[in-house]
Structure 1
Amino acid sequence: MSTKTGTGDAYLLYHSIGQYPGKHADMLAGLTDFTDAWAAPNGDQWADVLPKRQQFIDLWAELIGAPQGTVTTTESVTTGLMAVIGALPEGTLRGKKVLVAEDGFPSL
């Protein structure tokens, strides 16, 4: 992995941002498509973007081998973890501790 910018080498940051050949063009095309749909004066914005969100979820589920319908998205690790904890049956965690790594997300 490289720490130099502009080398074209791949890199990963702790929040999973990475580089690959053609990333700039891919992002420009994706953001242009989104802007065209979102700014259109036709009221079809959600009908355009929600299927794309579902396509992303389905592709992610396939990649990690998760059964269809068992994966979703969340705005943050904190929100996701709280949703899981909140969905547990009452009393599941009563009197217990939930441990989180010290170097994990600070909002947890």
Structure 2
Amino acid sequence: MSTLSLDEYKSKRNFNKTSEPRGVQDERSGDIYVIQKHDASHLHYDLRLEMDGVLKSWAIPKEPPTEVGVRRLAVQVEDHPLSYASFEGIIPEGEYGAGTVQIWDRGRYKTVDRK
């Protein structure tokens, strides 16, 4: 696990102005997933998967598909702290990612080997 994993996340935020979690890297590894609807400069969705004590994160420009077999572009972004999995709120104007964040879906995931 890289100790630098959350450095990029922290460098983009002023925690005196935003209510986003500061977060710390966690030694445990679980199976949390969350999809957050992020109405920022452009509406998009953020997919976050718990791996190596952080939330590995991808921005998805279009609404996640609800039908099997439909694909969406997902662009990897900086890791987020595990506490971000429960974050909903408004990121203030002038801050990185300014806009409204809402939880669209969340739960647990299981990695399946493809044959």
Q: Give TM-score scaled by structure 1 length.
A: 0.20
Which of 1 and 2 has higher RCO (CA within 8 Å, sep 6+)?
2
Q: Which has the higher strand share?
A: 2
Q: Which has the larger radius of gyration?
A: 1
Report which of the two has the higher share of helix.
Answer: 1
TM-score, with structure 2 as normaliser? 0.19
